[in-house]
């Protein structure tokens, strides 16, 4: 297949591209290389595959409709995996327009170019953040998600609705994946594991919000990539049992699907930190802080639909996952 991946220099995007190229697929990557976090790690991620003859890299922004359309016409993808997004819950409070341009305008451009160029399947990143004020655990795709707590979450919910519209109007199969706290080697410097590791090794305090009472469904990058690969090869289909009088929020009479993709084993944040301390051989100096605006206290993914439809099997525990990250971090930064 010819697969177009946006967010190609990102954590998940670059990891996915590595695997797709190993499988022999032809891949076109798109990324704007913005400075939300250190651009150098983005460059280093793509250096792992930039010279692969089956890979083409495009430095452009998905909010530029003309450049996106040119890219689609040149590459003619069979499948699109849209992972480009302005991430971060707290950053969305301070910089809302960044989220509107990338997550809404940019995704609209991806949908429109996919329609014009007869793309066979669109897979796109949603987020566990869409569950917002929901407290019924584990989070299920068959529950409503109408109470987001941040603009970031609202844009991801909007992506799901926008995708449904294109699936309904133009019969384009779309599959949304709600990611649950992804971590591992080559991860994002703005995320907790990366920040904690850097601060602990520098002898600095780590900021732990909600007084350490968070639970997170931490999901290792290899398990995420495995799930995306499985989804790519099986386009969404209509749910023939869908009932408009009692609508199921996770399926549709159109070729549209939503799935949780997580580890299905929520971990107490303090246990996560303890495992990091064990892997580093250093104790953390902790600064406990209250819950931050926009944060969800707990996440817990119900992944039974992904298991039933795709045989998804997340298998990496936090001991292995955190150890792998620490080993990568020390090697990458020469610690």
Domain segments of the chain as ranges = 2-181+220-263+301-314
For residue 24, give every residue at least 6 positions away whose Cβ sits within 8 Å of its Cβ, in sequence order, or none: 54
Q: How far apart are CA 284 and CA 203, in angstroms?
A: 8
* Lowest mean pLDDT segment, chosen from 89-93, 135-139, 253-257: 89-93
Backbone angles phi, psi at 86, to 5 degrees: -85, 115
Active-site residue 272, yes or no? no
10-55 pLDDT, tens per residue?
999 999 999 999 999 999 999 999 999 999 999 999 999 999 999 9
Backbone angles phi, psi at 201, to 5 degrees: -65, -25
Q: If we measure between CA atoms, which residue out of 11, 118, 104, 117 comes closest to residue 62? A: 104
Q: If we measure between CA atoms, which residue out of 89, 29, 31, 35 comes closest to residue 64? A: 31
94-131 pLDDT, tens per residue?
899 999 999 999 999 999 999 999 999 999 999 999 99
Domain spanning 2-181+220-263+301-314: which CATH class is it, in words? alpha beta
What's residue 222's pLDDT?
97
* E strand or H helix at 118: none
Q: How far apart are CA 139 and CA 262, in angstroms?
A: 10
Catalytic residue among 152, 220, 259, 300: 152
What's residue 9's pLDDT?
98
């Amino acid at each position: 297949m010819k697969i177009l991946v946006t967010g190609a220099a990102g954590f998940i995007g670059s990891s996915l591209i590595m695997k797709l190229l190993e499988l022999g697929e032809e891949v076109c990557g798109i990324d704007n290389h913005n400075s939300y976090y250190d651009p150098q790690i983005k460059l280093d991620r793509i250096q792992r595959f930039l010279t692969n003859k089956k890979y083409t890299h495009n430095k452009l922004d998905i909010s530029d409709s003309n450049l996106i359309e040119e890219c689609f016409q040149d590459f003619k993808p069979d499948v699109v995996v849209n992972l480009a997004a302005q991430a971060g819950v707290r950053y969305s409070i301070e910089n809302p327009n960044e989220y509107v341009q990338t997550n809404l305008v940019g995704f609209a451009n991806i949908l429109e170019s996919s329609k014009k160029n007869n793309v066979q399947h669109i897979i796109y990143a949603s987020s566990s953040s869409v569950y917002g004020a929901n407290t019924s655990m584990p989070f299920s795709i068959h529950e409503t998600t109408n109470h987001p707590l941040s603009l970031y979450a609202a844009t991801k919910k909007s992506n799901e609705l926008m995708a449904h519209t294109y699936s309904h109007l133009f019969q384009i199969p779309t599959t949304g994946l709600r990611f649950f706290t992804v971590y591992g080697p080559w991860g994002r410097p703005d995320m907790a594991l990366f920040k904690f590791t850097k601060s602990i090794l520098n002898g600095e305090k780590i900021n732990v919000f909600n007084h350490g009472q968070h639970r997170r469904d931490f999901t290792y990058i290899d398990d995420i990539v495995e799930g995306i690969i499985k989804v790519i090869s099986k386009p969404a289909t209509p749910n023939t049992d869908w009932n408009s009088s009692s609508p199921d929020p996770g399926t549709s009479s159109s070729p549209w699907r939503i799935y949780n993709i997580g580890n299905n084993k929520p971990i107490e944040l303090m246990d996560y930190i303890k495992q990091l301390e064990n892997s580093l051989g250093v104790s953390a100096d902790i600064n406990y802080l209250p819950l931050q605006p926009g944060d969800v206290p707990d996440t817990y993914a119900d992944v039974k639909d992904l298991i039933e439809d795709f045989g998804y099997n997340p298998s990496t525990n936090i001991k292995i996952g955190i150890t792998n990250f620490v080993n990568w971090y020390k090697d990458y930064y020469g610690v």
